[in-house]
């Protein structure tokens, strides 16, 4: 029979074991945080968004937008580097939107994933003009 002497072995429970965070987790956090910024119309290039739109219409392909479209990350045990490709709304200050995206992404990833974000590189690939159709809209010529 083992006697419980009240001595704890191994330290605090939070330090007993290892937590691994997959790259896709950080990609999703960064993608959602970037989309939350006013002035960001979409993530990803026009081609990637078009392919995603087609993929979303296929039966069994899942529902909704891909949270990782336009996002790539490198995640280590302590740090992360993030690349984003965004489309901004016409009329917004691109530098202000990029700064707000960086701030929001860094805050979200550091808070949720516990990784220091060493850089967030942003590539603005397009501007959404007011008279452009959305990617999901299709013109019907004959009804």
pLDDT tens digits for range 12-48: 887 888 888 999 999 999 999 999 999 999 999 765 4
- Which DSSP letter does residue 13 get? G
pTM for this model (two decimals): 0.74
User: Measured at the alpha carbon of residue 66, what is the angle toward residues 87 and 31, in degrees to the nearest 5?
Assistant: 55
* pLDDT above 50: residue 9: yes
Give the pLDDT band of residue 65 (cuts 50, 70, 90): low
Whose CA is closest to 103, among 48, 54, 47, 37? 37
Phi, psi (degrees; rounded to nearest 5) at 51: -65, -40
Is pLDDT larger for residue 54 or for residue 77?
77
Residue 50 pLDDT > 90? no
pLDDT digits (tens, 9 = 90+) for 70-114: 999 999 989 999 999 999 999 999 999 999 999 999 999 999 999
The pLDDT score that the predictor gives to residue 26 is: 96
- Whether 135 shows a pLDDT value over 60: the answer reads no
Looking at the predicted structure, is the pLDDT value of residue 134 above 50? yes
pLDDT at 27: 96
């Amino acid at each position: 029979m083992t006697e419980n002497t009240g001595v704890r072995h191994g330290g605090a429970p939070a330090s007993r074991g290892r937590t691994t965070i997959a790259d896709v987790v950080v990609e999703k956090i960064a993608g959602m945080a970037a989309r939350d910024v006013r002035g960001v119309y979409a993530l990803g290039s026009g081609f990637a968004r078009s392919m995603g739109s087609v993929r979303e219409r296929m039966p069994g392909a899942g529902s909704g937008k891909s949270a990782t479209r336009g996002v790539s990350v490198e995640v280590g045990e302590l740090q992360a580097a993030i690349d984003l490709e965004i489309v901004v709304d016409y009329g917004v200050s691109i530098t202000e939107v990029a700064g707000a995206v960086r701030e929001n992404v860094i805050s979200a990833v550091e808070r949720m994933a516990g990784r220091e974000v060493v850089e967030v590189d942003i590539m603005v690939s397009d501007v959404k003009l007011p008279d452009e159709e959305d990617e999901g809209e299709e013109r019907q010529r004959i009804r």
